[in-house]
Amino acid sequence: MDGYTAYHQRHWRPIELPNPRRSRRRPRKMSKTSWPEVVGWPATQAVTQINADRPDVAIEVIPNGTTVAPGYNAERVRVFFAAGIVATGLVVSTPAVG
């Protein structure tokens, strides 16, 4: 028997697998997923607020009425702002993760 095997036979411990019925994990704190309070704010202030709440997401600032690719992305927030002839730069719909 080599030294490696002898050492592991003396120091062997069973692996403790997690019990799904008795998990020690605490529930994860729910992250904010929408920002209805920023509707009517300037887009730059809205982006600052969203970034403060969720620094882990990418924020896309898009003029209202622009066609965007469909699909859900849990790491993206789209902020639609008023643009056009009377461009105010204010957020026109609730930004949400997706």
Which residue segment(s) compose the domain that 67 sits in? 26-97
Looking at residue 85, which CATH number applies to its domain?
3.30.10.10
pLDDT at 27 (0 to 100): 46
Q: Is the pTM of this model over 0.75?
A: no
Number of domains in the chain: 1
- Overall average pLDDT of the 13-25 stretch: 61
Residue 6 lies in a domain: no
- Per the domain annotation, does 18 fall within a domain? no
pLDDT in tens, 22-55: 555 544 456 899 999 999 999 999 999 999 999 9
Does residue 13 fall inside a structural domain?
no
User: Which one is predicted more confidently, 9 or 66?
Assistant: 66
The rounded percent of the chain whose pLDDT value lies above 90 is 60
At 83 the pLDDT is 84
SS3 readout for 22-63 = CCCCCCCCCCCCECHHHCCCEHHHHHHHHHHHCCCCEEEEEE
